[in-house]
Structure 1
Amino acid sequence: MNFCSQCGEKVRFAVPEGDDRSRYLCDACGTIHYQNPRIVAGTLPISGSKVLLCKRAIAPRKGYWTLPAGYMENAETTQQAAMRETWEEAFAEVDLGELYTLIDLPHINQVYMIFLADLLGGFSAGPESLEVALFEEHEIPWDALAFPTIERTLQHYYADRKSVADRKSVADRKSVADRKNAADHTAGVARQRADYPLHSSTIMPEDRERYFGSA
């Protein structure tokens, strides 16, 4: 940042009085320019045993697969942002569930918030997607995922889904009534917080280097 967005004069980078870190300061009009982390909101859309992925049509990581997600806009909630991005990138409507992954990327000043969601109908590629498709677990293009946040979210989901399946297998050896309860408990993945808990973690620079190199 070189110039003040309020008055157009040059700014300097220094610690304001009473603060504990450097900011861009305008001595001409007294404006302190605060720069804060950006929120990326999106969904993990689920249809039966499949998940929806989008192949990016824009940089960075054009041609790589991602979950529908993007920067939150002013005057919207994180849930609204997640649903909007899902529509813009995949023309998909979803039944939004709980927040599933909360991932900090402090080295690039971003926070990812991915919600579980049940896919309600059809889908097609939006203007920022080359292709949109449903994938079974064994079909996930792990070597062609766009970002480590997407890889981590999918890893959590499949680990949680396996835990649910293992518990259901145990329940299948019980009474008919117990089996029905277990089957009901696995329905509507976006609404089962007990089975799919919130996962909070941090992506470090070395994690991103696998995708972007050391630059």
Structure 2
Amino acid sequence: MKFCSDCGTPVDLRIPAGDSLPRHVCPACGSIHYQNPKLVVGALAEWEGRVLLCRRAIEPRHGYWTLPAGFMENQESTADAAARETLEEACARIEVGEMFTLYDIPHISQVHIVYRARLLDLDFRPGEESLEVGLFDEADIPWEQLAFRSIEFTLRRYYEDRRQGSYRFHTGRISPPLGL
């Protein structure tokens, strides 16, 4: 951040009084500009034992497969974000179920949340951010072409839980790949 979003003055990076971390502070108006992690929310939408995947038409990871997911908007719940992202990326309507995974990804300042969901019908198609969409059985998941580790972890937990006959809530932390 270079300029104050309140008054336009160049900001300083310093630790404000009563704080413990460096923040962008405006020397003119005193505004403290906090930068907080982003929430990425999505859905693991099911239909007769298969899951809905989208092949990305955007960066990062253009051409790779993912669950429909994206950044949460202001003034929406996480469940609403999962339904909206599924509609935007796969033009699919879902009934959002329980929260299934929550992964902290501190090295990119993100938290990824995925809900289990039920497709309401088979009327889906690629949205503007997807090249193609489809329903996949476990054997057909393009494991080597998944866009994000949080999606791979979510799918692996889903199939493990399904084999055990019950689903539980999973949490974890994803560390940076080697070399970052």
Q: TM-score, normalised by structure 2?
A: 0.97
Determine the C-alpha separation between the residues in 2 that align with 1:52 and 1:82: 13
Give the counterpart letter for 1:134 in structure 2. L
Report the equivalent of 2:169.
198
Determine the C-alpha separation between the residues in 1 that align with 2:113 and 2:160: 19
What is the root-mean-square deviation of aligned Cα atoms in Å? Answer: 0.8
2:48 maps to 1:48 = yes
Report the equivalent of 1:103.
103
> Matched residue of 1:107: which SS?
helix
Give the counterpart letter for 1:199 in structure 2. H
Larger Rg: 1
Determine the C-alpha separation between the residues in 1 that align with 2:167 and 2:59: 31
Deviations 1:139-197 (A, max 9, x none): 00000000001000000000001111xxxxxxxxxxxxxxxxxxxxxxxxxxxxxx211
Give the counterpart letter for 2:157 in structure 1. H
How many residues end up aligned between the 2 structures? 179
Matches within 5 A, 1:150-161: 150-161=151-162
Offset at residue 27 of structure 1 (A)? 0.6
Report the equivalent of 2:61.
61
Aligned-pair identity in percent equals: 54
Report the equivalent of 2:37.
37
Deviations 1:23-82 (A, max 9, x none): 001110100000111101110000111111000000000000000000000111111111
Determine the C-alpha separation between the residues in 2 that align with 1:118 and 1:75: 24
Deviations 1:88-136 (A, max 9, x none): 0001111110000000001111001100001111210000000000111
> Matched residue of 1:84: which SS?
helix
Matches within 5 A, 1:163-202: 163-164=164-165, 195-202=166-173
Unaligned runs of 5+ in 1: 165-194
Matches within 5 A, 1:55-94: 55-94=55-94
Whose strand fraction is larger, Structure 1's or Structure 2's? 2
Report the equivalent of 1:132.
133
> Matched residue of 1:85: which SS?
helix
Q: TM-score, normalised by structure 1?
A: 0.82
Whose helix fraction is larger, Structure 1's or Structure 2's? 1
> Matched residue of 1:205: which SS?
coil
Report the equivalent of 2:115.
115
Determine the C-alpha separation between the residues in 2 that align with 1:21 and 1:202: 22
Segments of 4+ moved more than 2 angstroms: none
Give the counterpart letter for 1:200 in structure 2. T
Report the equivalent of 1:187.
none
